[in-house]
């Protein structure tokens, strides 16, 4: 069985993007409702048409949203078991629900207020943040600390940035990747972002400014980290047949895969004992293989890549893992300008998490749809196929190929 071209994204809705805390007094639920209603209106649908939720990263409670908005009947509601790793995969989850007959109109939505959530966890329970997420409800209950957390904290691993800095150091050691290569990722995405009225970062970024920025977790400095943002983005998916009669040109789901190598997923936040062949990687290689096989295309067919960029080096690693350049050559590939508009594979043409906004991956879905509709601010000429990725942030990671 294949999901290829059986379903389509027919509506995108979004709130404004806010800097951390500036969305108040709105709540996360209010933000989500506004995005969902906007996506339905974009498609020419109403709340009466909605009957499914395909979610990730504990974004919303379908029962609460269904009650507040007046959804007549929820026929499908499921959540992928990861944080940002599931954003692209949530589109595949929606497609699977529709193709199997469990629902007819499914929304994937992410809503975020950084005053309530932080990278990797919630502010509630066991101190909040990354370590709080791991320790709350762990092996010793809410008042204790599981052994793995004690090990990590003792080793200085207090946040995702610490873990991903180790992967980056390994990539540098194995392949000669440099901080200049990371800087090119951040600078290129800033150039895209400053042209977009939705972006939170509106000033150019220079190489000198990058190297003058404070170091957070060597080799990752301030500009290698995602921003902290508030906002919501929603995407509505329905059958390809129904999509033909709706308001917007359909964006078809060619293929979607999620999962990954098991030891990579747990290792990045615990003992770092992945096999050497994929230690310094984004964890996407098996997902990439499956999504290209499902869609029946190759990396050379992709016109624009929207790659999850909570940290700049993971863009480099995903370019390698999805086959846009050989393994170990992602740094020079970016430095040579291959991810710019009009180049080999324009990447994160909205500015990504680094410079537009961090809504845990759904801004990338929005940009992919705008590119394939031909209405993007930084439009890739003749764009027909877009790749969207989720994660890397543990498992599952995910990738989805879309076409106009």
Dihedral (C-alpha) 79, 81, 87, 92: value to the nearest 10 degrees?
-60
Is residue 294 within 8 A of residue 92, CB to CB? The reply is: no
Catalytic residue among 18, 252, 308, 322: 308
What does each C-alpha distance from 294 to 32, 129, 153, 240 come to in angstroms? 31, 37, 41, 17
Question: Does 140 participate in catalysis according to the annotation?
Answer: no
Q: What is the pairing mode between strands 52-56 and 76-80?
A: parallel
56 labelled catalytic: no
Is the separation of the CB atoms in 250 and 98 below 8 Å? no
Cα 106 to Cα 145: distance, rounded to the nearest angstrom = 39
The C-alpha atoms of residue 304 and residue 404 are separated, in whole angstroms, by 12
Q: Give the whole-angstrom CA distance, residue 276 versus residue 264.
A: 10
**How far apart, in whole angstroms, are the C-alpha atoms of residue 302 and residue 307?**
13
**Which positions are annotated as active-site residues?**
308, 358
């Amino acid at each position: 069985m294949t999901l290829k071209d059986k379903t389509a994204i027919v509506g995108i809705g979004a709130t404004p993007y806010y800097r951390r805390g500036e969305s108040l007094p709105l709540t996360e639920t209010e933000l989500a409702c506004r995005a969902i209603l906007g996506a339905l209106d974009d498609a020419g649908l109403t709340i009466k048409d909605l009957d499914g939720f395909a979610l990730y990263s504990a974004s919303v409670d379908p029962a609460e949203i269904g009650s507040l908005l007046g959804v007549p009947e929820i026929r499908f509601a499921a959540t992928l078991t990861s944080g940002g790793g599931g954003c692209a995969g949530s589109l595949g989850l929606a497609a699977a629900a529709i193709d199997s007959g469990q629902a007819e109109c499914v929304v994937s939505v992410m809503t975020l207020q950084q005053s309530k959530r932080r990278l990797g966890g919630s502010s509630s329970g066991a101190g909040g943040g990354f370590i709080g997420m791991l320790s709350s409800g762990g092996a010793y209950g809410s008042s204790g600390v599981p052994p793995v957390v004690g090990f990590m904290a003792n080793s200085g691993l207090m946040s995702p940035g610490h873990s991903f800095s180790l992967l980056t150091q390994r990539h540098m050691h194995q392949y000669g990747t440099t901080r200049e290569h990371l800087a090119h990722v951040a600078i290129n995405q800033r150039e895209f972002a400053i042209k977009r009225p939705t972006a939170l970062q509106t000033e150019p970024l220079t190489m000198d400014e990058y190297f003058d920025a404070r170091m957070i977790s060597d080799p990752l400095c301030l500009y290698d980290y995602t921003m902290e943002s508030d906002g919501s983005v929603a995407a509505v998916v329905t059958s390809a047949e129904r999509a033909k009669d709706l308001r917007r040109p359909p964006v078809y789901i060619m293929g979607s895969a999620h999962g990954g190598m098991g030891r990579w997923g747990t290792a990045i936040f615990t003992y770092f004992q992945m096999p050497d062949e994929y230690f310094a990687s984004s964890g996407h290689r098996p997902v990439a293989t499956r999504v290209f096989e499902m869609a029946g295309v190759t990396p050379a067919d992709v016109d624009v890549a929207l790659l999850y960029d909570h940290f700049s080096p993971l863009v480099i690693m995903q370019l390698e893992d999805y086959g846009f350049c050989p393994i170990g050559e992602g740094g020079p590939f970016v430095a040579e300008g291959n991810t710019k508009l009009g180049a080999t594979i324009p990447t994160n043409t909205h500015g990504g998490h680094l410079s537009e906004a961090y809504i845990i991956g759904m801004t990338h879905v929005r940009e992919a749809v705008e590119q394939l509709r031909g209405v993007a601010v930084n439009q890739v000429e003749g764009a027909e196929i877009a790749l969207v990725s989720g994660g890397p942030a543990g498992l599952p990671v995910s990738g989805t190929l879309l076409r106009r």
